[in-house]
Structure 1
Amino acid sequence: MKENQAPLIMASQGEEAVVTREDILKLMKARDEIDEKIVALGGILESNRVGMTEPLVDQEGYPRNDIDVYQVRHARHKIICFQNDYKALTKRIDSSLAKYHQRLKDQGTSGTPMAMEVDSPTSEVVLSPIAKVNLVSEGSPAFHAGLKVDDVVLSFGSLDSTNFTELSQIGSLVQRSVGSMVSVKVKRNVQTVKLALIPGPWSGRGLLGCNIIPYDAIDR
């Protein structure tokens, strides 16, 4: 093999280390693990019936006696830390994917595009629809994320057909994710599309600017 035909996993002298498919999959796995931790911590907030922004003191400035203040404060702090880690890993994944694709293009290496493998499930579990979008307001976070009316939701963050039971779960996840990216996978006609949604205040109502209904409620 000639020097200019080195394998993809080899780095030329003076170059930064070459990003491999395995590197990217490891980053994605680490990000999924962080997402699971955020969900678990969110359960602590749910059990105390609070989100990320409610005050922890009463009107007189004393710690609230209807919640576990220490537990909630600790959970909020950890969620913020994990959300920052999640954002950082997402940037690394995007950067690594760009480098991976560019190297394949430069070297003329054939093979399945990494983006295809990223969007493919890592197990044999086939996700069933959990909800459907029937309204998207222009200028809203959902609008900018690319959600469209009639999109069938396959997963919303860590929620999918294996653990989804009611719409309130999406509401809770959105409350915990203000300002952070939520990965949403939808089925649009015959295509599966992966979107990045960032819930947050906008000129309209709510944090998403869309209306989602349970898929089971649809008259098909």
Structure 2
Amino acid sequence: MAQPGSGGRAVTVSDVQQLVRRKDEIEAQIKAYYEVLEDQKGVGMNEPLVDVEGFPRADIDLYQVRTARHNIICLQNDHKALMKEVEEALHQLHAREKEKQAKDEAEALAEARSQEQGQPRPFARVNEVTPGSPASLSGLQVDDEIVEFGSVNAHNFQNLQNIATVVQHSEGRPLSVTVIRGGKKVHVGLTPKRWAGKGLLGCNIIPMQR
């Protein structure tokens, strides 16, 4: 019998089931031939087929006994080879399932990382915005979570001085600010400038708790 999976085809559950059915058929045939031997005075596989004087036994059907014994030997050899095929097929099937599981886990991890990259990590939060200030006019809102403030992001942010430095160097020039608001990314054009209140922004920013 050709082994499932030969020729480059992957072993399937159906292949294994087919092998098991063939094994059951062989075992049934072996049992049937043993029953033939049992009916012939229970000669079995090793009882002599000649009498004490060396003549062929007349109390049994010699042809049936010889045929049954020959077929049992052939079928037992087939059964042994088939069991090796079953074992190999199960091994391949389990190995592929393990490989598929590892691949699924890798894909899930890659997807999670992709989503993580698609939604940058916030490093600071706006907890106060003064009405009429540059921050208020730009659309910045309380509880906006900042993921990008000019050149500052979660990867290079160390403390609030980083933001203060960017603000001082950007007076009168629009800054690209990206925030997470309600689970969505929002881009804000913020221009630090002098106004009636304190500072150049008119808002208060605090670091996110890590």
> TM-score range, shorter-chain basis?
0.3 to 0.5
Write 1 or 2 for the structure with the bigger share of helix.
Answer: 2
Which protein is bigger by CA-based radius of gyration?
Answer: 2
TM-score computed with the length of structure 2 as normaliser = 0.44
